[in-house]
Structure 1
Amino acid sequence: MALFIRDPAVDALAEEVRRLTRARTKTEAVRNALLAQLAQARRALPMRDRLARAQALADSMGPSDPTVDLKAWSDAMWDER
């Protein structure tokens, strides 16, 4: 879905960000600004919430295999023989 900026003040802000960041288009400037704001908002989340999200992602991958030897796997992967 397209994003249309109808507010002249917001359009002027997007143009200023475009100029100052040397983005090629206002779309690129808005995308970069939104990504930066999203990253900042995620960093502001309490550690407990960030860890819960990471744990939920790990849980969604299924149970871990306690017999896997990651050291041996890593060594084999880097072995040049």
Structure 2
Amino acid sequence: MALYVRDSEVDALATEIQRLTKAKTKTEVVRNALKHELKLVRQAMPAKDRFAKSKAMAAAIGEDDPDFDMKTYLDEMWEM
């Protein structure tokens, strides 16, 4: 899939970053910039949004079993 840059300012910025970072290609520059921006955007998201998928997975598992004995479970698993 192609990504075309038709803006001369964006091209100049990519060229400058490529030169400063000694990146082999502008593709590498764009990849790194997008990964960096994605990380920043994810960090800026509210915690409730960042953890929504994890909370949904936990909800799908169901409620905790108050009678579950983790020590016994681990002992049995490790044949102790």
Q: TM-score, normalised by structure 1?
A: 0.69
Per-residue displacement from partner, 1:25-63 (whole Å, max 9, x unpaired)? Answer: 00000000000000000000011111213223x25xx52
Pairwise CA distance, 1:7: 0.9
* Secondary structure in structure 1 of the residue aligned to 2:35: helix
The one-letter code of the counterpart of 1:3 is L
Measured in 2, the distance between the counterparts of 1:22 and 1:53 equals: 38
| 1:14-29 equivalences in 2 (<5 Å) | 14-29=14-29
Measured in 1, the distance between the counterparts of 2:22 and 2:55 equals: 39
The one-letter code of the counterpart of 2:61 is P
Which structure has the larger Rg?
2
Q: Give the count of matched residue pairs.
A: 73
Question: Residue in 2 aligned with 1:63?
Answer: 61
Question: Residue in 2 aligned with 1:38?
Answer: 38
Root mean square deviation, CA, Å? 2.9
